[in-house]
Amino acid sequence: MAKEPPHFYLGKKAVTLEQLEAELTTLAARNPDTPVAVRTDTETPVGRFVSVMDAVKAAGFTKPVSVFTKPPGT
């Protein structure tokens, strides 16, 4: 069963890709050295994952992005 859109979350808040891009830009403007972690499930389409990685890069973060499929400790 496919998940319903928006498929993107900032913390626990569901957001559209456009909202995510805006939030990332705001966060990077405050501190581009902030660590960024992206959590995805194993069924995430590659194109959606790439969209998020592109958004992080375009926002201006300077640190490498951490990527994981399960929250730490699970």
Q: Which helix (H) or strand (E) holds 18?
A: helix 17-30
pLDDT tens digits for range 25-56: 999 999 999 999 888 878 888 888 888 899 99
Domain that holds residue 15: 8-68
Tell me, yes or no, if the pTM score tops 0.75: yes
Domain assignment present for 3: no
Domain assignment present for 73: no
Instruction: List Cα–Cα distances, 47 to 30, 50, 52, 63, 73, in angstroms.
Output: 28, 5, 9, 22, 28
Report the pLDDT averaged over residues 54-66.
93
Domain assignment present for 74: no
